[in-house]
Amino acid sequence: MSKKQIHLNGFIQNSPSPHSTGLWKHEKDQGTGHNRLEYWIDTAMTLERGRFDALFIADVLGTYSVYGNNHDAAAKHAVQLPAHDPTLVIPAMAAVTKHLGFAPTISTTYAQPYSLARQLSTLDHLTEGRVAWNVVTSYLESEAVNMGLEQRLPKEMRYNRADEFLQVVYKLWEDSWAEDAVQYDRENDTFADPDKVHMINHRGEFFNVPGPHLVEPSPQRTPVLFQAGASPKGRDFAAKHAEAVFTKNHSLEALAAYVKDIRERTVAQGRNADDVKVFPMILPIIGETEAEAYEKYEALQNSVSYEGTASLLSGHTGIDFSQYDPDQYIEDIETEAVQGNLDMYTKDPNRKWTLREAIKNHGLGNGTVKFIGTPVQIADRIEEWATEGDADGFNIAQTYSPGTFEEFVDLVVPELQARGIYRTEYEGETLRENMFGKGRKHLADNHPAKRPNLAGQWY
Ligand SMILES: Cc1cc2nc3c(=O)[nH]c(=O)nc-3n(C[C@H](O)[C@H](O)[C@H](O)COP(=O)(O)O)c2cc1C
């Protein structure tokens, strides 16, 4: 029997050293070059050389100012500040690659479905079908107040809005333009047949959008849908809509429990258990020997900014840790911010975490699990997490950027390929084909966007 094949994404943000706080000043880090095209071109070419599925570009629309109720620590330590636009760098990367996908993060809480649909369809055309969308509902108060709200919407409402948001964009992407609407018929002076360009006439609680869509059908129509909700509501949302989910876990056991839960919820939505691909995030720290890798880990941990990470963790969890004793245990609460980031430290079955310990951990790779060792050891763990943890792929975070990607591609990817668990060539033309198999350019027929029997629910 052929071995389970894994998929890989690179995890980045349009900020200096976004996921390893303070490493912008590390001698190997080039993250301060995020405002130059060369940085993105280099990154994309490295990932395509490593046959990655996609580059996942995280994003926030506000500052990390929960800590001390101001943005001082975020500005001083470059904690996702500056935060440049995640979509504008994509065409430059697409121009120097043929297969790599691009997954920008855009928030359903602050975008409008009509313009977002146009933006992503445009990118899907320009990349020839290599765009995904990381659907987020946003968690920072600073985003809400800068985007014209008095305060952050409650999580329940954010997800309800996201649900309706997706109904609208599905109608625009899937139904507005018939496949044969564009005719390019010079003899009859017809670019597109107007009878095949439909209004969508959406009227709902949050949005009224008559349509039609402003863009003719793109190679994938709906971009590949990524999501990363960890709360029960977030998981149900993912199970209903997502084609891939991102997760952060400390342990194989925690991952296995998460995957089982997501697959059960996906089946409850009338989809197949494996219709949602699960990508745990890992931070690789690679050495020629195990001892060298651990020395490197130690040195990197010492380069992390304590105060910067405290501000990151405060933003992630919604708790102002400037008020905490560093040796105090982190308490288990329900947060309006990112539940998964708090759960990592409050629901760990193996131990309790003090603030100091959590900060030390969170500073590298946003607190995700570290795979430390030789390329062979790292490949062993990847294989273990894919088989015993049922992961479909991995989201590779970085310490220094883009050097972490370069090391992973040069040292770990050949090991995975030699084991027959990772592609040596891309399978398809579009991102969805590379993730789900040749011929799968469009959403699966059992996806809610495509199920006419659910029309009552959607339209
Ligand atoms: C690996 C990972 C990456 C994420 N990236 C982003 C991001 O770039 N921007 C964002 O606003 N939220 C991001 N999130 C947050 C979630 O998408 C979600 O909006 C948030 O977790 C709140 O919902 P929840 O409590 O259901 O998890 C990320 C979460 C995880 C686990």
> What are the pLDDT digits (tens) for 3-46?
899 999 999 999 998 899 999 999 999 999 999 999 999 999 99
Let me know if residue 350 belongs to a domain.
Answer: no
pLDDT in tens, 156-179: 999 999 999 999 999 999 999 999
C-alpha span between 115 and 92 (Å, rounded): 21
Report the domain count for the chain: 1
Residue 403 CA to ligand 1 center (angstroms) comes to 25
Task: Give me the helices (H) in 182-289, please.
Answer: 232-241, 252-268
C-alpha span between 172 and 157 (Å, rounded): 23
CATH code assigned at 396: 3.20.20.30
Mean pLDDT of the chain: 95
C-alpha span between 90 and 124 (Å, rounded): 10
Residue 72: domain span: 7-291+367-458
Let me know if residue 296 belongs to a domain.
Answer: no
Of 308 and 349, more confident = 308
DSSP helix/strand/coil, 151: coil
Residue 169 CA to ligand 1 center (angstroms) comes to 20
Tokens of 387: 């088989």
Residue 228 CA to ligand 1 center (angstroms) comes to 5
Map tokens 């095209």 to a residue.
37
- CA dihedral angle for residue 348, residue 354, residue 355, residue 359, rounded to 10 degrees: -60
Q: Specify the ligand 1 atom closest to the Cα of 135.
A: 17
Per-residue pLDDT at 452: 52
Residue nearest (by alpha carbon) to ligand 1 atom 10:
138
Residue 115 CA to ligand 1 center (angstroms) comes to 22
C-alpha span between 278 and 263 (Å, rounded): 9
Of 56, 139, 140, 312, best ligand 1 pocket probe by most atoms within 8 Å of the beta carbon: 139
Q: Specify the ligand 1 atom closest to the Cα of 368.
A: 1
Q: Specify the ligand 1 atom closest to the Cα of 395.
A: 1
Residue nearest (by alpha carbon) to ligand 1 atom 29:
228
Residue nearest (by alpha carbon) to ligand 1 atom 18:
229
Of 136, 277, 332, best ligand 1 pocket probe by most atoms within 8 Å of the beta carbon: 136
Let me know if residue 346 belongs to a domain.
Answer: no
Do residues 265 and 236 lie in contact, with contact meaning Cβ atoms separated by under 8 Å? yes
Q: Specify the ligand 1 atom closest to the Cα of 105.
A: 8
Residue 135 CA to ligand 1 center (angstroms) comes to 9
Answer whether residue 389 shows pLDDT above 50.
yes
Let me know if residue 343 belongs to a domain.
Answer: no
Q: Please report, for residues 64, 168, 204, 224, 447, the alpha-carbon distance to residue 238 in angstroms, rounded to integers and kept in the order given.
A: 25, 17, 21, 13, 12
Per-residue pLDDT at 353: 93
Let me know if residue 303 belongs to a domain.
Answer: no
Let me know if residue 334 belongs to a domain.
Answer: no
Residue 183 CA to ligand 1 center (angstroms) comes to 41
Do residues 40 and 402 lie in contact, with contact meaning Cβ atoms separated by under 8 Å? no
Let me know if residue 404 belongs to a domain.
Answer: yes
Handedness of CA 223, 48, 53, 289 (dihedral sign): negative
Residue 244 CA to ligand 1 center (angstroms) comes to 13
Let me know if residue 172 belongs to a domain.
Answer: yes
How would residue 1 be classed by pLDDT, with cut points 50, 70 and 90? low
Q: Specify the ligand 1 atom closest to the Cα of 335.
A: 25
For residues 121-144, give the mean pLDDT: 96
Residue nearest (by alpha carbon) to ligand 1 atom 22:
338
Within 10 Å of residue 95's Cβ, how many Cβ atoms?
12
Per-residue pLDDT at 143: 94
Residues with CB under 6 A from ligand 1: 58-60, 105, 107, 136-139, 228-231, 234, 246-248, 281, 338-340
Tokens of 3: 């071995």
Do residues 54 and 8 lie in contact, with contact meaning Cβ atoms separated by under 8 Å? no
Answer whether residue 457 shows pLDDT above 50.
no
Answer whether residue 287 shows pLDDT above 80.
yes
